[in-house]
Structures are given as C-alpha cells and as structure tokens.
Structure 1
Amino acid sequence: MDSSSQAGAVYFDPYQPEISTDPYPVFRRLREEAPLYYNQEHDFYAVSRFEDVERGLQDRETFISGKGAILEIIKAEAEFPPGVLIFTDPPVHTMYRQLLQRMFTPKRMLSLESKVREACVRSLDPLVGSGRFDIIEQFGGQMPMHIIGSLLGIPEQDHQKVRERVDSVMRTEVGQKMDAGDTAYIGEGFEDYIEWRAKNPADDVMTELLTTEFKDETGTMRKLDRDEVLTLVNVLAGAGNETTNRFIGWMAKVLAEHPEQRRQIAENRALIPAAVEEILRFEPPAPHMSRYVARDVVVHGQTVPKGSAMMFLVGAANRDERRFENGETFNIHRPARSHLSFGYGIHTCVGAVLARLEGRTALDEFLKRFPEWDVDLETAVLSPTSTVRGWETLPVVVR
C-alpha cells in the first residue's frame, strides 16, 4: 500500500480482494479526489471519470493496445501471437476487425435469436421446480458457450471442455496477478478443430476464417495463416463466453436486490432492452481496460510519461454522475445514454450485438419461469480474476 493511503488519501489496487469485491466506494472517491490516480506499488495510472475514460479509449495515438490491454501483460512486456485483436493497433487491428465484422454482422447475429432462445430453454427447463440452483454453472456457463461454440463450429460435446480451459486461463489466485506467460495459451487446444474444418468446410465462422480472402495491412490479398486462425478462434471462444456469462450472474444479483423493478420487467417485457443496458452499466463484466502510453500526455494538469501503463476504470466511469444522474442508483427507467461496458472507439466489442441479444433473451426466458427469486450471497463466490469481474458460483433460490 502506498504512503498516500496511510495519510488518508484514496487507495486503489485492482488485485486487492477487499476492493474488488465491491470497488464502487473506491471508484466514487477516485472520481472526486483523484481523477488521475497513480499507484506506486504496481506502477500504473488510472482515470475514473466518464469523459476521461471515453476520451482515452478513443485516443489510439496516445494510448495504444499493441503492448497489451491487460495491466499485467503491459508491465511484463509479454509477447503474443498475431490475431489477438484487443492487443493490436492499426493498421493490423483494422485488418482483423474488418475481417471479423464481415462474419459478425448485426443481421447475422440477430438471426440467431431462435437458437439463443432454444439454448436458454434447454438450460432453464430442467431447473423448474428445483427451488435452488447455481445460475452460473447451470445457465450462465452453458448458454453463451453453446452459442459461440456453434457459431464457430466447435463440436457440441466439446463446449464444456473449451469453457473450462478458457476459464482456467482467466482465473487467478485470490489477490494475485494474472501470469503474463499465460498469453502463450492462445491457440492451444484448437488445432484438431481447425484441421477437421480445413478438410470438412461448413457454414460456420471457423470455415470462413480458413477460406476468406482479404487485403492485409500491406495491401496483399491473402488468407489467414493457420496460427492466425487458431488465435482468432480461441479469442472469440473466450470473449463469446465471458461477457454473457458474467452478465447473467449480475442480472440475477442486481434484480434480486431490486425486486420492484424486476416485477415491472416481468409485467412489461418491453422494458427488457433498457433493463439489459442498465445492468451492463451498473455492473460491467470488464470493470477496467488498460493501455500502454505511447507519448507524454497531460491529464488533469499532470504529465503521464511515455512508457507508463494507464488503466481506464469503466466501472467507475459508468456511475459518474457527471454523465448519469444518480449514477450510483440502479434504474431501468433511466433516460438512454451510452455506457462504456463494451469499450469505446476502435476496440468496441465486435460481438456486442450478439451479447445484447443473449442478455435480452436470457432475461426474458428466466422471468418466464422464475419471476421471483433471491440470491444466496452467503455461499456465493466471486471469480478471482484481475481482468473480468463476476460470479464463479451464485446460488439462486426461486419462489
């Protein structure tokens, strides 16, 4: 802990369980007392106000992603293979993103609604009458992986195995940093799928990644090489599972704590889209994103030197009352204003349309079966990761 905290100044440490369990009191103090914060122990800067986070995520010349978007990776100067979209800058990022956008079009994602609903029904129907279940293990961990796995072309019998491998990489020991060496995992475990699809093409994203021709950053028309395909499949499998899995846990907790608003949604399903956005704003699955500082920059009158690491506190920005009136309050009737839970700028989540569709459908199908529920926080367990925030175990008691 740095000396300023001992003098009563605000202290933020993303690895400290006492803070990450409920970071919002610290986030509030950061916004008011230290809009540019420096942590001496871990050597990083952080901004917490909505305007600063939004501006920083858009400023790709100053705050670059090519050295990583996770603090531990930036500090370790880790190397990673080509294809890790969130760890690239233009023009390479532009190339990969344009390629993926051809595969993740809004029209194609919205056409998956019936499959998403079927996946929800398959997970939720067996839970009816049980009285109590773990919403993460029995719903959040199943439906999103089924959808992204099917979209990619991963055999259904392997979905659980893939999810467990991705989770194991994200998970850390309580209070510990991610091992930056784990970036080497990217691509491992998918070789057999890729080899099979190369010989047996189908109507899935994996086949498209193998066969689509595109113009790369040098202007050359080519296809992705095998390493790039392996990396992109793994990245998409992880991202496609994480966001919605975490969202479903926060959906259960937040609506259990706001039963009157939950009942309003149950009675008027037209409120579901706004409720999903408010849950995402209120409890973003990724509460912070980091960047390498490529050039000196002045923030709130102080110079942040080139070579520093900057953490953008999305979870703090999403509750900034300069942007959202009564931002610390959960309110599904809040006037629509964009939040930062899917990022901002060129790195806005390419799967946001699908994640929102999954969130809306999950809430709708859950309310059909379980209009009233509580969560057992005494036995719930937050997942120990330093990159995303959500529940590893969240027992739900239905009435």
Structure 2
Amino acid sequence: MTETHAQPSTVVTDPAPVYWDPFDRDIAGDPYPVYARLRAEAPLYYNEKHDFYALSRYEDIDRALLDWKTFSSSRGPILEIIKAGIEIPPGTLLMEDPPAHDIHRALLRSVFTPRRVLSLEPQIREMCTRSLDRLAGLDHFDLMTEFANEVPMRVIGMLLGIPEEDQQAVRDRADENLRTEPGQQMQVSDKAIPHADHFAQYIDWRAEHPSDDLMTELLRAEFVDTEGVTRTLTKQEILTYVSVVAGAGNETTARLLGWLGSLLARHPDQRAELVADPRLIPNAIDEALRFEPTGHAIARYVTTDVELYGTTVPAGSAMMLLIASSNRDADRWSDPDRFDIHRKMNNLRTFGFGTHFCLGAALARLEAKVALEEFLARFPSWDVDWDRIALSSTSTVRGWETLPITVG
C-alpha cells in the first residue's frame, strides 16, 4: 500500500488519550501531530501494549542522553532488542556504556577525524558523478534506487575495503536486519546483533593484503582493554566493528538523501536558492536532519528507579527517547514545523548527544553535501510523483523506500 507523507499539521483537540506506537504504519505516515500531543499532554508516556515509556520534550531527552548510568545503552538502542534480552558482543559501540564503550570508540575515532573525512571528498564526488552520469537523458527515475541508495553504499564499501562488485550484497544483508513486515516488530534473534560473519573473508584477505582502509587499521590497532591488557583486536571484535560501520552508514545516509529530494520538491523556492548559491547547502542539510530525521527514537534500558513527572519509572523498563519530537519542540526551535534552509542551527540532536554522539556525523554531512551539489548541478528542478511514493518498512529508520521523480 502506498503511504504518503502529509505536511506538518497543527495539533487538534482530541478527547481520546494520546497514543504513540513505533510499529503503527498510520502514525508513521505523519507522526508529528502525535509528538506535539505527547509534549503537551503526556511528556512521560507509557505504552501498555508494548510495555515501554517515552520522553518527548527536548530538555528531558537531553538529560537522558547525558545520563548513561540511568538510561543505559548496554541492552541495545532498539526497543525490540532490549525486550529480547540478547547478549551483546563486545565492540558493539551502539550497545555499550563506559568504560568499555570509550575504549572501543577510541579505536574508530581515528578513522573519522575531520581531516580524514575531508580527504574523502574527491572520491565521494567521483562516486556521485558516476551514479549521476548514468541518469543523463532520463526524464524520470526513482531517486532512491538510482542515486540515494547507491552513494552511501559505495562510500562505506570504500572505507571498509570491500570490493565494488560485492558492495551491493553487503548493503542488502545490512538492510535485511532492519526490515519488518508493515505494522510488525523486528524479529529479534542472534542475527539481529552484528556478528557479521559474511565479512570474515574480507578480513582474512586484508590481513594478507593491507591497504588504506578501516579493516587494515583495525587489524593493526593496539589498545588497552577493560582488563588493563595491551593487545590487538580479535577477529570477532573486528567483525563486530565492521558490521556496526556498515549498518549505521548505509541506511541512514540514504534516507537523508531521500528526504532532501522530497523536501526540496515541496519547497522549490528554497531549492532555487541552493542552485543559485551552493554555499547554503550545508545548512540546508542540517535543517533536513532536524525537520525529517532518519531515526525518530533511541531506546534505552532504565537501570534504576527514576522519578519523572510524578511517576516512578521502574528499573528494568525500556525508555524511548523521541529525537524527532525534540527536533520539533517549540521551546527549543522557533516555528518548528516550518522547513527553513536559513534557520540558525544549534542543539541538533539527530546525531545524538553526549557519550553516543554519532562518530559518522561528519561523513554523513559530507556525503549529503557532495551528493546534493552534484545533483542540483544536473537537475536544478524536479517533481515527485506523490501518488507512488512509499515509506520503508522499518520501525528504526524512517525514510523513503521509493521516491519517483520527474526532472526538467
């Protein structure tokens, strides 16, 4: 069934109690009115059906993101994984707390330094150019399948040292774990945690053929582990790292490019400004990240009883932090339901905050910047076939599965 994305709407008076469900496809079509009601009526929300709590105001979310001892990542950042109680392998950064998190994060930080990320721009531009050259002469195509999905896949493949002919299969396997049946929860099993055994052959090959890529760096890296032992990573730890990077870098960046495509189609006047002055593009990307974040909620495991709004949230609970709601909170943003590429950007939480701030934020921004520059240079205007668009079927990442456009 085709799902359309409604324009942001104002809150209407509804006598029924507010209800938010991350698995409800009708709510996912336009969740922002529900978020507004949550902020106003139920800043601490409890969903009895799925047994979780949720925070929707920016101040509460900021405090929770900083308080990792109370709102722990050690059981995973996804509701279904927390509920499943699966053992998390070491090195899964998204599913760790300090001190182990800080040790493992430091190993990846060197890969994502500002200088290292900026050095990738020529290669990213070449990948964008190659993808767009294939579209020359076409007057309509699916932005997701023909461009938005392609670029992040190539960039992550380059970073990891995955041969180009294997990159599509690697992306498909990473995406498979996120897909759900419409309205259903993610089916969590041991496979939901990134063991990534399908990367093993590449790691073995890189051990014999070192190169300038993440796998080679991880094979060589020495660190002091939580037991105080100086050592290199085990093969299983490297597999976990590689899988985290592959999964986090593909899906979210592709969805960001899709949102840029639909938002600029809805705001052709602002699109024309970007065409006339590409220097505005970085701020436009941050506004898209605020207005339509790819990840709407971050889950946390509550480690101890905590008092919120006169209610005791018991230890062992799952707490959903509604980042997308924080991004539309009028107490933080003026006129938050308006898309504005000139908005003064600060306090953006789409990439998280505190200990788990996304290591790949600078890379995602760079990919989006280069991709949009090259796309606008070839296609300064386009229309979306709104009757044929569809949101992806996942409870963790919100974005377009298909986005057919007509250029001209």
Query: TM range, normalised to the smaller chain?
Result: over 0.9
Match of 1:349 among 345, 358, 362: 358
Q: Is residue 186 of structure 2 the alignment partner of residue 178 of structure 1? A: yes
The answer for the alignment partner of 1:375 in structure 2 is 384
- Superposition deviation, residue 158 in structure 1: 0.5
Superposed counterparts of 1:114-129, under 5 Å: 114-129=122-137
Q: Is residue 69 of structure 2 the alignment partner of residue 79 of structure 1? A: no
- Superposition deviation, residue 7 in structure 1: 6.0
Superposed counterparts of 1:56-75, under 5 Å: 56-75=64-83
The answer for the alignment partner of 1:3 in structure 2 is none
Superposed counterparts of 1:322-333, under 5 Å: 322-333=331-342
The answer for the alignment partner of 2:29 in structure 1 is 21
Q: Is residue 158 of structure 2 the alignment partner of residue 133 of structure 1? A: no
Question: Cα deviations across residues 231-287 of structure 1 (Å, max 9, x unaligned)?
Answer: 111111111112210101000011111111111111111111110000000000111
Q: Structure 2: which amino acid aligns with 1:287?
A: H
- Superposition deviation, residue 185 in structure 1: 5.2
The SS at the match of 1:190 is: helix
Which stretch has the larger CA shift, 145-154 or 210-219?
A: 210-219
- Do the aligned residues in 2 keep the contact of 1:382 with 1:390 (CA within 8 Å)? yes
The answer for the alignment partner of 1:43 in structure 2 is 51
The answer for the alignment partner of 2:160 in structure 1 is 152
Structure 1 length as normaliser, TM-score?
Answer: 0.97
- Superposition deviation, residue 163 in structure 1: 0.7
Superposed counterparts of 1:286-365, under 5 Å: 286-365=295-374
Identical aligned pairs, as a percentage? 53
The answer for the alignment partner of 1:143 in structure 2 is 151
Distance (whole Å) between structure 2 residues aligned to residue 215 and residue 109 of structure 1:
26
Q: Is residue 286 of structure 2 the alignment partner of residue 247 of structure 1? A: no
Structure 2 length as normaliser, TM-score?
Answer: 0.95
Q: Structure 2: which amino acid aligns with 1:241?
A: N
Q: Is residue 118 of structure 2 the alignment partner of residue 110 of structure 1? A: yes
The answer for the alignment partner of 2:7 in structure 1 is none
- Do the aligned residues in 2 keep the contact of 1:381 with 1:391 (CA within 8 Å)? yes
The SS at the match of 2:198 is: coil
- Superposition deviation, residue 80 in structure 1: 2.8
Q: Structure 2: which amino acid aligns with 1:48?
A: S
Distance (whole Å) between structure 2 residues aligned to residue 203 and residue 62 of structure 1:
39
The answer for the alignment partner of 2:290 in structure 1 is 281
Q: Structure 1: which amino acid aligns with 2:92?
A: V
Distance (whole Å) between structure 2 residues aligned to residue 263 and residue 270 of structure 1:
13
The SS at the match of 2:394 is: coil
Match of 2:402 among 386, 393, 398: 393
Which stretch has the larger CA shift, 374-383 or 247-256?
A: 374-383
- Superposition deviation, residue 180 in structure 1: 1.5
- Superposition deviation, residue 20 in structure 1: 0.9
Q: Structure 2, unaligned stretches of length 5 or more?
A: 1-13
Q: Is residue 236 of structure 2 the alignment partner of residue 209 of structure 1? A: no
The SS at the match of 2:197 is: coil
Q: Structure 2: which amino acid aligns with 1:388?
A: V
Distance (whole Å) between structure 2 residues aligned to residue 300 and residue 334 of structure 1:
32
- Do the aligned residues in 2 keep the contact of 1:186 with 1:235 (CA within 8 Å)? no
Q: Is residue 206 of structure 2 the alignment partner of residue 197 of structure 1? A: yes
Q: CA RMSD in A?
A: 1.2
Which stretch has the larger CA shift, 178-187 or 75-84?
A: 178-187
- Do the aligned residues in 2 keep the contact of 1:281 with 1:318 (CA within 8 Å)? yes
Aligned length: 394
- Do the aligned residues in 1 keep the contact of 2:195 with 2:236 (CA within 8 Å)? no
The SS at the match of 1:127 is: coil
The answer for the alignment partner of 1:231 in structure 2 is 240
- Do the aligned residues in 1 keep the contact of 2:256 with 2:294 (CA within 8 Å)? yes
Distance (whole Å) between structure 2 residues aligned to residue 206 and residue 188 of structure 1:
14
